[in-house]
Chain A
Amino acid sequence: MQKQPIFRSKLLPYALVAPQLAIVLIFFYWPALQAVIQSFLLQDAFGLSTSFVWFENYVELFSEPAYFETIVRTFFFSFAIAASSLSVALLLAVMADKPLRGGAIYRTLLIWPYAVAPPVVGVLWVFMLHPSLGVLSRYLRAAGIEWNPLLDGDQAATLVILAAAWKQISYNFLFFLAGLAAIPKSVLEAAAIDGARPMRRFWTVTFPLLSPTIFFLLVVNIVYAFFDTFGIIDTMTRGGPGKSTETLVYKVYNDGLIGGNLGSSAAQSVILMIMVIVLTGIQFRFVERKVTY
């Protein structure tokens, strides 16, 4: 990882890494360490004294059924968001990959939602599907559905999943397009000569060759659903009604800020850190494999 002809200087390299090192140590390692320490401490209700309690915060967390529900809910959201967004994006990418007139325009018109911030996504969707004033709610009511995501937890969850999946379509679309472009045309032509019809060609040739892209996107989408949905949830439902749209990150925020339970919030942060490290590890191993393909 290093150049053969290199510079020799005693102080210069340190001066060059110093700014980044300082920022990383102050704003990354120090807080991460604090989170770990904090998760072993218990503060009394008035914040006057703290005591070291080993794993009590963790034990308490895992003995709470509500925490398990949040974990299950977060994973459910993740898979629902990933599945719906990936399938729509794949369909669009396969269509846009064809040699069509105006192909570049389609691409431009489909990728821009990447740039829409999660809280804005939340505002857009909550407005469209607001029970009393949303333009789409009228049609839902006309169709006989009692639509009220402000009161009905399942409907609120559907709303969050829809909005989050909507935002992620453009990202997935772009990576699918890149993946499709990398598939050698000769393989598809060979299958066509063998008499495979387009649908069959897609499922037996294109889809398996896309599997690395799909797996990569699956991990990215899960991480997205874990973290980036915070803005969507906060402007749409604030975790409610009840706790029906509270994800793990939202719970960290809620318990720490509103509940004032810093020990528990820190323990949750540490658990989240471990989850992200595992996910990233899976992704790295996979990326390495893709390189040696």
Chain B
Amino acid sequence: MVEQEGFRRYVAHIILWIGIAIVAFPVYVAFVASTQDNALIANGQMSLLPGGHFFEVYYQTIFVGTSGTTREPVGNMMLNSLVMALMVAVGKIAISIISAYAIVYFRFPLRMPIFWLIFITLMLPVEVRIYPTYKIVADLHMLDSYAGLSLPLIASATATLLFRQFFMTVPDELLEASRIDGAGPLRFFWDTLLPLSRTNMAALFVILFILGWNQYLWPLLITTRDDMQTIQIGIRKMMTTNDALTEWPIVMATAVLAMLPPVFVVVAMQKLFVRGLVETEK
């Protein structure tokens, strides 16, 4: 494998940079647009270099909101998205790890039926049962609430399966040792199993946080109040059907702000992210 190595590497570098450019270009355009004057953009005269309105646009976006459509500060929407993403991630990890613990470490009647009941939920995303779920959430008076936003998204088995898989690889000797020390089931879980699961929990957290932050269809249905909408919903409401009224710099600033937290998580915690992604897909 030595033939023309130098030349081939050169080509590889070029292709990769073209790939990066394709991937980055739409985001660059959004950032540039968020620093320019709306009149310029609306005329189709947008420049491909950043303008001078950065602070002004982002200040208005985060603290004031659009002047025409939703009038909700994007800072508040980001807070809603954050609460929802954290509830989905933490909630799912918490309920999954204890149910996986019960399924692996206990023998009780109905163990297998319960396992299957949970397992089957893997198959159906929330999109296919959207209206009945909406009705139930409405009946439970959970519209426009954080619980309504996050609970239906917690109802799935990925995390349970992951923890089950992991617990199966934990050596039995650990359990015996802690038993000899006189530890009961809760003590063993808390002192031994939980610390061992830390990396798995972190990897899962990264994936679930991104998933929660990026939810769209579900929040679109169940939030009616402007102060409860997430940033993804806010973006859509800012894009009016009449293009002339759309405040593009603010829309684009919101798009940039909506991307920042999850992209930051991916880049900063790359190892955990890759691990979580590969493991949840298995």
- Which residues of A are in contact with B by a Cβ distance under 8 Å? 1-10, 12-14, 16-17, 19-21, 23-35, 38, 88, 91-92, 95-96, 98, 100, 106-121, 123-125, 127-128, 130, 132-135, 137-138, 166, 169-171, 174-175, 178, 188-189, 192, 197-198, 220, 227, 230-231, 234-235, 249, 252-253, 256-257, 262, 265-266, 269, 272-273, 276-277, 280, 287
Contacts and interface: CB of A to CB of B under 8 A. Distances in A.
Given A7-B105, A110-B23, A133 B248 contact: yes
Q: Which secondary structure dominates where chain A touches chain B?
A: helix
A189 B101 CA distance: 46
Contacts of B186: 12
B33 interface: yes
B123 A277 contact: yes
Interface stretch (B58-66, B71-79, B196-204, B251-259): B251-259
B106 interface: yes
Contacts of B258: 117, 120
B213 A9 contact: no
13 contacts: A1-B168, A5-B172, A7-B106, A23-B95, A26-B155, A92-B16, A108-B270, A111-B274, A117-B232, A118-B214, A127-B29, A175-B281, A272-B127
Contacts of A95: 11-12, 15-16, 19
A107 B267 CA distance: 10
Contacts, number: 293
B125 A113 contact: no
Interface string B185-196: 110000000000
Which among A92, A96, A119 has the highest number of chain B CB atoms within 10 Å? Answer: A119
B245 interface: no
A134 B123 CA distance: 39
B129 A269 contact: yes
Nearest to A235: B236
Given A1-B104, A5-B176, A124-B29, A112 B41 contact: no
Nearest to B185: A7
Given A20-B95, A276-B128, 16 more contacts: A3-B175, A5-B176, A14-B102, A24-B117, A26-B151, A27-B151, A34-B132, A109-B20, A118-B216, A127-B251, A128-B26, A133-B42, A135-B46, A138-B44, A174-B274, A252-B128
Contacts of A253: 130, 217
A124 B98 CA distance: 41
Interface in B224-247: 232, 235-236, 239, 243
A79 B84 CA distance: 33
Which 10 A-B residue pairs are closest in the complex by CB-CB distance?
A34-B132, A115-B262, A31-B132, A117-B214, A16-B102, A13-B106, A231-B216, A124-B26, A13-B102, A27-B155
B216 A230 contact: yes
A5 B20 contact: no
Contact of B29 (A19, A114, A132, A135): A135
Contacts of B278: 174-175, 178
B228 to A, nearest CB: 17
A96 B16 contact: yes
Contacts of A166: 22-23, 26
Interface string B73-110: 00000000000000000000011101101111111100
B9 interface: yes
A88 B11 CA distance: 15
A6 B185 CA distance: 9
Contacts of B99: 16-17, 19-21
B131 A269 contact: yes
Given A20-B95, A130-B243, A14 B108 contact: yes
A119 B151 contact: no
Which among A13, A34, A35, A109 has the highest number of chain B CB atoms within 10 Å? Answer: A13
Contacts of B43: 133
A47 to B, nearest CB: 13
Nearest to A272: B128
Contacts of A227: 125, 127
A108 B175 CA distance: 40
